[in-house]
Amino acid sequence: MDLAHYERVPERTLFYTLLHIDEHSDALPTAFELAAARLKQAEQFFLQIPEHFRLPDYKDFVEQLPAMRDWWLQQQEALKQALGGVSWEQCVHLVTQYAPTALLDGCWLQNISSSATSHTELTAGLLKLYSSEVGDGYCSQHHGNAYRDLIRSMGIYLPEVESIAFVEQRELVDAAFRHPVYLLCLSQFPRAYAPEIVGITLFYYVCGICPVLPALRNQLQQRGAATRFLDLHQLETSFQAPANMAVEIVERFMDSCADEPGDFGEELWSRIRRGFLAGWSDSSEAMDRAVRLARAPRSSPREKMLELISRKARHAFGYHQESLLEGRSIDDWMNPEHLDAPKFLDALARSRFVTPGNAKGSYFFKRLVEFRGPMFRIFSPDELQVITEWIDGLPAEQPQATPADGPVHQVPAVPWDAGVPGRSPEYRAAQQANDADCIKRYSRMPLGDVYYYLLNIEQFPDVRPFAKYFATRWLTLAGRKLTTGKRPLPFAPYRHQALDKWLDDQHSAQVASYHPTDEQDLPSRDQLIESSIQQAPMILIDGAWIQHAAGASTSHTPVGSKLFHIYVDEVGNGDATMNHPNVYRELLAQMGIELPEFATLEFSRWPGFRPDSFQVPVFWLSISQFPKRFLAETLGLNLAMELSGVGGTYRSLIDALRHYGFDPCFVELHNTIDNVSTGHTAWAIEAIKDYLDDIFARGGADMVNEHWHRIWTGYRSLVPPRGLKNWFYRIF
C-alpha cells in the first residue's frame, strides 16, 4: 500500500492507529520507517552527550552503568530544583502530558514473545520484564493502572487510552505522543529491531523513567496524590533486580553471537547502544520541555481566551448569522477561513455582551449562558472560568485594539477519518483488491507453508488478509447447527451459575472417564511416537491462540490481564526451561525425533508431518492476529483448550508415556496448571464472565446471549469443523 497515506496523518492519530494495528495493518510500513528515523536521530544525539557518560564499548559497559545512573540521579535532582516553583496547574499539565506514555508502560515489549520466539532465552528474559510492567496478569499491579490512580487522584479524567476521544484531548499537546508512537512502532517489529529493543530496555531499567515525574513527587505528595506509580519506578543508587536482569539480558544476547563471523558482535552492540540512546534522547527532550514550561510566563487571561476562540470557532460558525458585532455578523467574525481571534476578542470586550471588570454582571452571563439562554451548556465549566477571568481582568476603560498579538496556538482537531485512509473509496478499492490477491496466493499453498508464513508474519505481513479469511471461514463452519449439532450450546439464556454448573459436570465426566490403562489397551510405542510427531506443529506453538490478546491497549483490563496470565504461564513465565514447547522438545528428543530448526520452511515441509497436522495450528495463528475482532471466539477457544484432557485423557497419556519409559512432564504440566479450581481453566472461566459482564453493562441481556453464542462457537472451533475437508479441496 502507499506509504504516504499514513505518513500524512498527525502522530496523535498514528498513536490510535497503532493501538489498533490488527485492523490497520497497512500502517506497518510507516511504523517501520518512523522507528528507523527515530533511531537515526538517536545516533546524532550520541555526539551531544558528554564523552564520559556515553555508553562505552561492550567490554566496559557494565562498569560504566553505575556512573551513568548516578549522573541521571543528579539530573533528576537538578530538575527537581528547577521545577520546585511550578504551580499546581503546571504540575497537572506536566503529569497529563506523560499519560500517553505511562498508560502504555512497557509497550515496546508487547509483542516480544510470539509463537516463533517464545522458547528462546532472549525472549523469555524480556517477557519477564514486560510481565512485571503489566502486573503479572493482575489488574491491581498493572503500571498503567497505577498511573490512572495518580491522575484521577489529581482530578484528571481522561478517556480510555485506546479510544479516538483520548487522542482528541486538547489538554494533550502533540509532543506528548511523539515518544509513545516511537515505542509502539518499535514494538511491531520485535525481531527486526530486537537489538534496539534490548537497548531501550536497558536504558529504562538502569536510568529510569522520564525524570520529570520523580522531580514532581513533593508537589504531588503535598496534594495527597496517589504516587504508587512513582514508587514502582523509584530509582535507587544500587541496582535493583530488574536492572540487573536487563544487564544480564544484554550479556546473554551478546554472548549468543560470540561465534558469529566478522564484525557481527560490534554491529550488534552498536544497535543495542542506538536503542539505549533513543531512550536517553527522549528523556532529555522531556526534561527540556518541563524546564521551559517552568520558566515561561504563565498564560494570561487574554491568551487563554484567544485559545478558546480559536478552538471553538469552527463549531460556532453557522449559528450566528443574525447576531451583529460592530457591523459584522458574528458568523463572519468566526469564519475559520479568515478568523482573526485578537480582533474579535477586542470587539467582544467593547460590546454590550461584556461589562469590563464584572463577569457576573455581564449580559453574557446573565442572559446568554443561563438556563433558557441561547448559549446554555455551550461552554464547559472550565471554559466558563476562562471567560470569567478574562472579563474580571478587563479595565473599566477599554484600551484600543492590540493588533500586535502573536499567533494563537490551536490544538488540531483529529477527525475519525484522519487515521483511516481506507475510508477513501479509492483507497478502499485498492486495499480490497490487494487483499483478494493475497488470499488467492496463499490459498494455493500447502498448509505447512502457510504455517511458516504466519509464524514469520513480521517478515510476511501480506499473509494477514488470508489469516482473517481463514479464521472467519473456520469459525463460520464451527458455528453451524450451534444448538443441535455436535457439542451443542449447553444452555440458554446465558447465566454465570449455569456456566459454573456446566463446568463442574464437564470436569466430573472427564475425571470419571479415566481408568488405569491395561497393557493390551495401550497404543504401541510406534503409535505413540507417531502421534507425538503429528502434534508437534501444534504443541510447539502452545499458547499461540492468545499470543496477542493482551497488548498495550488491553493488558490493563480484567479480560486482557487474565488472558496474559494464561499465556505467560504457557511460555514459561520468563524461564526458557519451563517453556512448554521446550519441555515438549525434550520429550521428542527422548523419542529420538530430530526435527529441522523451528519456524523455517524446512520444518514446515518436513516429510514426516501429515498435511492435516497443520490445520489447527494455522487456525490458532490466524485467529491470534485479530484479538479484538475475534475476542469472543478466542475466549471460547481458550476455555476449550484449557479444559481439554484435564482429569481424563491427560492421565491416560501419562500412563502410556511412563509405560514406554518417556518422561510425561509435558502432559503432567497441563493436567495440573489447567485445573478447574485455580488454574488456567478457572482463569478462562473468569475471563468469560468478565467479558459478558461488560457486554451486559453496554448492551443488556440480548447482546449477552449473542456474544455467548460467539463464545460457544469458539469453544467448538478447537476441533476442525465438519465440512472442513471439502472446503480445503475447494481453496487449496
Lowest model confidence (mean pLDDT) among 169-183, 394-408, 488-502, 684-698: 394-408
Of the ranges 171-185, 226-240, 413-427, 619-633, the best mean pLDDT one: 619-633
The confidence score (pLDDT) of residue 286 equals 84
Using a 10 angstrom Cβ sphere, with 0-12 exposed, 13-18 middle and 19 or more buried, the burial of residue 67 is exposed
| pLDDT top residue among 152 and 7 | 152
Beta 324-325 vs 328-329: how paired, if at all? antiparallel
Query: What is the DSSP code string of 105-145?
Result: TTGGGTTS--TTTTTSHHHHHHHHHHHHHTGGG-GGG-HHH
Mapping DSSP to helix (H, G, I), strand (E, B) and coil, where does residue 587 land?
helix
Helices 194-207 and 121-133: crossing angle in degrees, nearest 10, is 50
- Give the whole-angstrom CA distance, residue 460 versus residue 230: 40
pLDDT (average), residues 384-400: 80
Quote the mean pLDDT of the chain.
88
**Is pLDDT at 630 greater than 80 in this prediction?**
yes
Q: Which residues neighbour 413 within 8 Å (Cβ) at sequence distance 6 or greater?
A: 168, 314
Q: Which three cell numbers stand for residue 10?
A: 498527525
580's CB contacts (< 8 A; 6+ apart) are: 539, 542, 543, 570, 571, 572, 666, 669, 670
Question: For 331-339, which contacts have Cβ atoms below 8 Å and span 24 or more sequence positions?
Answer: 334/309, 339/309, 339/310, 339/313
> Band of the pLDDT at 401, cuts 50, 70, 90?
very low
State the SS3 of 469-512. HHHHHHHHHHCCCCCCCCCCCCCCCCCHHHHHHHHHHHHHHHHH
pLDDT in tens, 439-475: 999 999 999 999 999 999 999 999 999 999 999 999 9
**Better pLDDT: 77 or 579:** 579
Long-range contacts of 86-91 (CB under 8 A, 24+ apart): 86/216, 86/219, 86/293, 86/294, 87/298, 88/219, 88/223, 89/298, 90/293, 90/294, 90/298, 91/216, 91/219, 91/220
Range in 63-72, 195-204, 218-227, 606-615 with the lowest mean pLDDT = 63-72
Give SS3 for 86: coil
Q: What is the 3-state secondary structure (H, E, C) of 608-668?
A: CCCHHHHHHHHHHHHHHCCCCCCHHHHHHHHHHHHHCCCCCHHHHHHHHHHHCCCCCHHHH
If pLDDT is split at 50, 70 and 90, which confidence band does 407 have?
very low
Q: What is the mean pLDDT of residues 566-592?
A: 95
Q: Is the pLDDT of residue 417 over 60?
A: no
Judge whether 336 and 315 are in contact, CB under 8 Å.
Answer: no
Q: CA–CA distance from 503 to each of 90, 520, 652, 691, 716 (Å)? A: 54, 33, 21, 17, 15
- Cα separation, 380 vs 366, in Å, equals 16
Summarize the confidence of residues 227-247 as an average pLDDT.
Answer: 88
Give DSSP secondary structure letters for 168-203: T-TTS-GGGGHHHHHHHHHHT-TTTTHHHHHHHHHH
Looking at residue 449, what is its pLDDT? 97
Cβ(541)–Cβ(455) under 8 Å? yes
Q: How confident is the model at residue 404 (pLDDT cuts 50, 70, 90)?
A: very low
pLDDT at residue 150 in the model: 97
Say whether pLDDT at 5 is over 80.
Answer: no
Q: Residue 242 pLDDT more than 80?
A: yes
89 phi and psi, to 5 degrees?
-60, -45
Give the pLDDT confidence score for residue 265 in this predicted structure: 85
pLDDT of residue 409: 39
Structure confidence by residue, pLDDT tens digits, 112-140 = 999 999 999 999 999 999 999 999 989 99
Q: Quick check: 293 pLDDT over 90? A: no
Query: How many CA atoms within 13 Å lie on the side-chain side of 119?
Result: 17
Quick one: pLDDT at residue 476?
Answer: 96
Domains belonging to the chain, first-starting first, are 4-47+63-295 (1.20.910), 301-392 (no CATH), 488-731 (1.20.910.10)
